[in-house]
Structure 1
Amino acid sequence: MVELVWNNPKIHRIQIELPRNPLKNLNIYVLQTPERSLVIDTGFNDPACHEVLWAGLEELKLNLSSTALFLTHFHADHIGLVWDFVERGVPVYMGKREYEYTKTISAEDIVGGMNEAFSQEGFPGGLQLRHLGESKGRLEIPRTGFPVNVIEDGEDLPMGDLKVRTICTPGHTPGHTVLYLPEQQLLFTGDHILFDITPNISIWPSVPHSLADYLESLKMVRKIPVRQSFPAHREAGEDIYQRIDQLLEHHRCRLDEIRQTVIDHPGITAYETAGLIHWSLRGLSWEMFPYNQRWFAMAETLAHLYYLVDAGRIVRDESGEFVRYYCWQ
């Protein structure tokens, strides 16, 4: 349940299973010094997640009066149990850019706004409604309004003599933030860099350039000296720089694949594009994709289409019932 993953400073991992979720698990990290402790992320607002998390924290014998919680981003598997900490008097920290985005928009607004955009991009309405219903039942999001201590990009968290620096890495979410220990060269990557799977990069209401943000964030992190990284899901790899290069190459290939699909099918919609490109989901055909996975695939396809439009590599036609894409070579 609790695993020591680094000795100086002491860093433990509490691995929480995420039921019915392709991510499979969430890694919650606990940094401990003689003076202070820091918990990174929480798991879903779910009884099973609650039980595993608090059993792990009790095993570590945390003094909650000298403990803080940091939230890397607003996804439900990372902030779901935030009220558990608030109600115990634990201060909560979040990066400023992420907080500024989340305080202006609700989860319902995000899903509703994306569904509206999806309608224009050819996504079937029945699938949208079904996904929205599944999301409300499956992703248990905490009630809003919890108190947050906002941290500026590059600011250190209050961890005594241990320097724990925040680095804003937008892309996976508009203000996703990683934590960096400069003296030890340790990096808590959140969902920005994962080693066994590729982070989902979607469009967001009022943030259509998420892929451009993500690629720039990857290049920025590549300049940081990192001895060991700690991802939020699955296992860590040995070489973060190699993984960054793999992720950059993945998106370069994906952009080329999508552009070629537009060339081969002039006037194609985003939904049709998503159905023609390659996805790694246990060999399932597009028609067999679970509805929620089709929804996320659509969001990622749009992020790449928007990037190509902004780069002038394809054009977007909004004159008809659905938005259609062309490439004039």
Structure 2
Amino acid sequence: MVEQVFDRPRIWRIPVELPQNPLRTLNSYVIQTPEQNLIIDTGFNRPECHASLWAGIEELNLDLGKTALFLTHLHSDHTGLVYDFVQRGVPVYTGRIDHTYFASTVTGTTWSDMEERYRHEGYPAEGLALQAGGNHARLYAPQGVYPATLLEGGEILHVGDVSVQAIHTPGHTPGHMVLYLPKEQLLFSGDHILFDITPNIAVWMGVDDALSDYLSSLEKIRSLPIRKTFPAHRGQAGDVYQRIDALLEHHQHRLAEILDAVETYPGSTAYELAGHISWSARGLGWDQFPPNQKWFAVSETLAHLYYMERRGKVAREAAGEVFVYHII
């Protein structure tokens, strides 16, 4: 079950099952040294994920007394089991921005504010209700705001004699962080760079232009010397620089596709425009999309529309209670 993916330092991959989720598994990594261990990400807060993760930890015979946990970002498939570690006294590290945002979903009105925002972008009320009832991010989140050492980006964590740098890479989430080993030139990319699938770039409360943030973060990582990359989902094989180029090209193609949809269907809402875009959904039509996938598709459409609006390519106009889009 546990796979060794690097020798010096010893790095292990624990595949954590994500049931009924298109991501299938989370790659939870362990950096192991004689003095200290670091676990990266956890899986959802549900029994199947707990079983997968802890079977791996037990197989490695990790001493939790000399182990820390790092969470790359706020999504529940990465943070859900954090209290497994908090309750055992394991120190937790994560980015301040995402920790604060997660806290706002627990103690504030972030979820309802997002739903209202989507309603104004044309998302039907019944669709929002379906999405809320089956949203894995909400159903399998940590049971509350968890204690953690909060990072801004640039900090060096020491795992035995291994130096690990936290780097802020906003885009996929506002406070997403990757981990970089400068001496070994290794990158734990979280969901910032995936090789077999494309990270979702969504809209966030308090973030003006998530897509621009993401593209800038890709360029930031491109500037690093990287020998090997360990992504949070799917396969690990691939040249990271070629993958960055492919991701940049993907978003240019997506921008062009959405711009063409706005020109072809002027006066459409973001929800309607999302239905005219090509998505990787196993041949399903827009009306057949599962609620979670439809939410992500609309959110990614919005991120690209906002990017183009800020650059004077599309106009967003009120039409009653919803916004519609036109070519400028």
**Contact 1:2–1:12, Cα closer than 8 Å, also in 2:** yes
1: CA distance between counterparts of 2:57 and 2:259?
Answer: 48
Q: Could you report, residue by residue, the CA deviation over 1:306-329 in whole angstroms, capped at 9, with x for unpaired residues?
A: 11101111111125331011113x
Q: Could you report, residue by residue, the CA deviation over 1:190-248 in whole angstroms, capped at 9, with x for unpaired residues?
A: 00000110001110112131111101101111111110000000011320000000000
The residue identity in structure 2 corresponding to 1:310 is: R
Aligned partner of 2:243 in structure 1 is: 243
Aligned partner of 1:219 in structure 2 is: 219
1: CA distance between counterparts of 2:97 and 2:214?
Answer: 14
The residue identity in structure 2 corresponding to 1:85 is: F
How far does residue 109 in structure 1 lie from its aligned partner after superposition? 3.5
1:313 aligns with 2:313: yes
The residue identity in structure 2 corresponding to 1:94 is: T
**Contact 1:111–1:132, Cα closer than 8 Å, also in 2:** no
How far does residue 158 in structure 1 lie from its aligned partner after superposition? 3.1
- Match of 1:326, SS state, is strand
1:162 aligns with 2:172: no
Aligned partner of 1:204 in structure 2 is: 204
2: CA distance between counterparts of 1:140 and 1:107?
Answer: 16
Q: Which consecutive segments of 4 or more residues in structure 1 shift more than 4 A?
A: none
1: CA distance between counterparts of 2:83 and 2:321?
Answer: 44
Aligned partner of 2:31 in structure 1 is: 31
**Contact 2:17–2:25, Cα closer than 8 Å, also in 1:** yes
Structure 1 residues 137, 274: CA separation in 2 closer, same or farther (over 3 Å shift)? Answer: closer
How far does residue 4 in structure 1 lie from its aligned partner after superposition? 0.3
How far does residue 14 in structure 1 lie from its aligned partner after superposition? 0.3
**Contact 1:164–1:181, Cα closer than 8 Å, also in 2:** yes
**Contact 1:110–1:204, Cα closer than 8 Å, also in 2:** no
**Residue range with higher mean Cα deviation, 299-308 or 310-319:** 310-319
- Match of 2:162, SS state, is coil
The residue identity in structure 1 corresponding to 2:229 is: S
The residue identity in structure 2 corresponding to 1:7 is: D
Provide the aligned C-alpha RMSD in A. 1.5
- Equivalent residues, number: 328
**Contact 1:195–1:243, Cα closer than 8 Å, also in 2:** yes
- Match of 1:157, SS state, is strand
Q: Could you report, residue by residue, the CA deviation over 1:120-169 in whole angstroms, capped at 9, with x for unpaired residues?
A: 11111101011101126973111223210112311111323211000000
* Sequence identity (%): 55
**Contact 2:75–2:137, Cα closer than 8 Å, also in 1:** no
2: CA distance between counterparts of 1:237 and 1:246?
Answer: 15
Consecutive unaligned residues in structure 1, runs of 5 or more: none
TM-score (norm 1): 0.96
1:119 aligns with 2:107: no
Consecutive unaligned residues in structure 2, runs of 5 or more: none
Structure 1 residues 177, 137: CA separation in 2 closer, same or farther (over 3 Å shift)? Answer: closer
Aligned partner of 2:276 in structure 1 is: 276
